[in-house]
Amino acid sequence: MSAQTVAPQPVVEPRAQSGNLVLEARRIHKVFGGLVAVNNLSFSVFEGEILSIIGPNGAGKTTVFNLLTGVLPLDGGEIWFRGRKLNGLPPHAIARLGMARTFQTVHIFENMTVLENVMIGRHPRSRYGFVEAAFQLPWARKEEQAIRQHAMACLELVGIADLAGELAGNLPFGQQRLVELARALATEPTCLLLDEPASGLSHQEVVELDALIRRLRDEQGITVLLIEHDMNLVMGIADRIVVINYGEKIAEGAPEEIQQNERVIAAYLGEDV
Amino acid sequence: MSAANSSVLSRRLHVTRWAAKHNNLTAFVTLALVLALLPFWVTNNYHRSILVFIGFNTMLTVGLSLLMGYTGQISLGHAVFFGCGAYITGLLTTRYNWSPVLAILAAAVLTGLLAYMIGIPIFRLRGHYLAMATLGLNIIFETVVVTETKWTGGPNGLLGIPRLNIGPWVLKSELSYYYLVWAVTLAVLAVSLNIVNSRVGRALRAIHASELAASTMGVEVDTFKLKVLTLSAVYASLAGSLFAFYLQIVTPSSFSFIVSIELVVMVAVGGLSSIWGAIFGAASITLLGEALRNIMPRLVRGASAEAELLAFGAILVIIMIFMPDGLTAGIVQWLRNVRRSGQRQAERAKQSPDAVT
């Protein structure tokens, strides 16, 4: 973890720049068997904003991420990312376009070291293949060097550079989440999709995560899409919130608007209290 | 994490990587030297032929280790690619009088293409289903080879394959094949070690660990599976070609379902994701097979090949129970324990110097 802990900053809301549209879901639809998981959902994500998607368990949040990243095919609607239609593109092509994600249940490569995990994140930003590797061609070596350096920088960014040589599977859960985050950052994403990054973290770790996400947005200009159940984190960090329930959008707006929205309170917050 | 601290760490990491790489290099050079000198000690032609077979099996096992151990894609049909290499080489040299070297290259290209084309539909399957489908490949291959008598010679095999010649130089002796086969094996080994420790190797291991995570990190999962299958098929084809020239006859039984299984066993015994383990697995299982073939008839009167397989199976069960990570990992662990207990004894001796005289 970082040496000097960043105190939670006072909430200064940089409102969504009305300008550049990064990601747009147009009436996306997904059905599992007879169950409508995502129902004609539309939302837009603007450059440099932190957009949080919240909703009760089973509302379809993770399914939305799976649709956005191409892990699941759409049953209807369109997804546009930086002026390109993503429909039908495989996950690796979408990653190459600059969309990276983490998983609700961590999916790190347990059989590899932390550094190697993050080096995988450089895959879409490097090129050399079987032949260059087999014969250790000079530019493959050079690229390998660059991959390692960039991966190391990503580890430093999330504050786990000292774990570089550890086997990822041996780390405690909270650190595995950070490995996943560093790995996603290594792909140099324009848009970062975080699926419940705070679940299973201690209070202190959540505070650090909060600061880290802000830093990623402010310093790297990364647009963040955040699924999260930790309402303190969401209300403090999100520029805008989209609330979904049963796969449908029931509200959208700034955190304070969402907190006062009656439908949200009824459908979501109300159930929790 | 301060910058100075992390730069020390990254330097240390660099050093360990350097050491790891040089360990590989040292091991490789040592192996090459041992192999170069081995024939001076092993002068018996029968024993040399066993070494040649270990070479064939190593080529096959290294490829299969890339596919199974590293990428996690089970293949129970690897003998098919071995057979394709052998039969294509045999056909081209006997029926069409191709020069041996050209035939080897053509076989490698054709077998690689075949593997690629098989891979497209077969990799739609995962896990046990993939294993079952690859199992089917053996049956198809065997049926084709046995029934297309006009081409393949049927059950009797393809006879009269010429000796391998490189230009005017014709390889005749056991020793020349030993050196040729192991030179090619070492090349296969070097290429594979390089691939494993690279961007490609990482991608393969990522696919093994989680296809979902690998694909969302930009790894072209399907393409990499196809390519690694093709590469391992090319290795198998090379082994098959050399095998054909070495024996000058290819028969269906050399590439049967049993051979596919034996190869998987070699990979498993060596330790799934280890190139060095693959050599070890190939060597130990080949030697074991030969030893059993000699010993079993002496132990059990009238024992035939089946008895050999029985003992083979029993030994494998024992290995898998006591060394589930493979023989290599098991032995390394055992050595470590021995060394540790040795250190403990040394420490004890130091503490009480009178006790030990």
- How many Å lie between the alpha carbon of A195 and the closest alpha carbon of chain B? 13
Beta bridge partners of residue A225, listed in sequence order: A51, A193
CB-CB under 8 Å, B227 with A91:
no
- How many Å lie between the alpha carbon of B209 and the closest alpha carbon of chain A? 5
Closest Cβ opposite residue B199 in set A96, A123, A135: A123
The whole-angstrom separation of Cα B198 and Cα A146 is 12
In A, minimum Cα distance to B17 occurs at A165
Give pLDDT tens digits for A197-213: 998 899 999 999 999 99
Runs of H (alpha helix) within chain B: 3-41, 45-64, 78-94, 100-122, 127-147, 149-152, 174-196, 199-209, 211-216, 221-247, 257-270, 275-299, 305-322, 327-351
pLDDT (mean) for B248-277 = 87
pLDDT tier at A261, thresholds 50, 70, 90: confident
**Residue A197 near residue A214, CB atoms below 8 Å:** no
Closest Cβ opposite residue A161 in set B1, B200, B217: B1
> ipTM of this predicted complex?
0.88
Q: What share of chain A is helix, strand, coil (3-state, %, to 5)?
A: 40, 25, 35
**Chain A residues with CB-CB distance to B325 below 8 A:** none
Residues 184-203 of A with CB under 8 A from B: 184, 187
Give pLDDT tens digits for A18-72: 568 999 999 999 999 989 999 999 999 999 999 999 998 888 999 999 999 999 9
Query: What are the residue boundaries of the structural domains of chain B, listed by start?
Result: 15-350
pLDDT tier at A17, thresholds 50, 70, 90: very low
> Given CA atoms B70, B74, B79, B85 in this order, what sign does their dihedral have?
negative
**Chain B residues with CB-CB distance to A143 below 8 A:** 199
DSSP state of A167: B
Residues 117-176 of A with CB under 8 A from B: 119-126, 128-130, 133-136, 140, 143-144, 147, 152, 156, 159-162, 164-165
Least confident of A81-85, B134-138, B258-262: B258-262
pLDDT (mean) for B214-222 = 96
The CA radius of gyration of chain A, in Å to the nearest whole number, is 19
Q: Tell me, what's the pLDDT at B3?
A: 46
pLDDT tier at B297, thresholds 50, 70, 90: confident
The whole-angstrom separation of Cα B349 and Cα B147 is 72
Q: How many CB pairs under 8 A join A and B?
A: 128
pLDDT at A268 over 80: no
Q: Tell me, what's the pLDDT at A25?
A: 96
Residues 22-81 of A with CB under 8 A from B: 69, 71
Closest Cβ opposite residue A165 in set B1, B13, B191: B13
Q: Tell me, what's the pLDDT at A8?
A: 44
Encode burial over B294-330: b for 16+ CB neighbours within 10 A, e otherwise.
eebeeeeeebeeebbeebbeeeeeebeeebebbbbbb
Closest Cβ opposite residue B10 in set A95, A96, A152: A152
Q: Tell me, what's the pLDDT at B265?
A: 86
DSSP state of B253: G
- How many Å lie between the alpha carbon of A168 and the closest alpha carbon of chain B? 12
DSSP per-residue string spanning A189-254: -SEEEEESTTTT--HHHHHHHHHHHHHHHHHH--EEEEE-S-HHHHHHH-SEEEEEETTEEEEEE-
Q: Tell me, what's the pLDDT at B7?
A: 54
pTM for the complete prediction?
0.87
pLDDT tier at B9, thresholds 50, 70, 90: low
Residue % of chain B over a pLDDT of 70: 89
Task: Report which of A57, A81, A54 is spatially closest to residue A70, judged by C-alpha positions.
Answer: A81
pLDDT tier at B14, thresholds 50, 70, 90: low
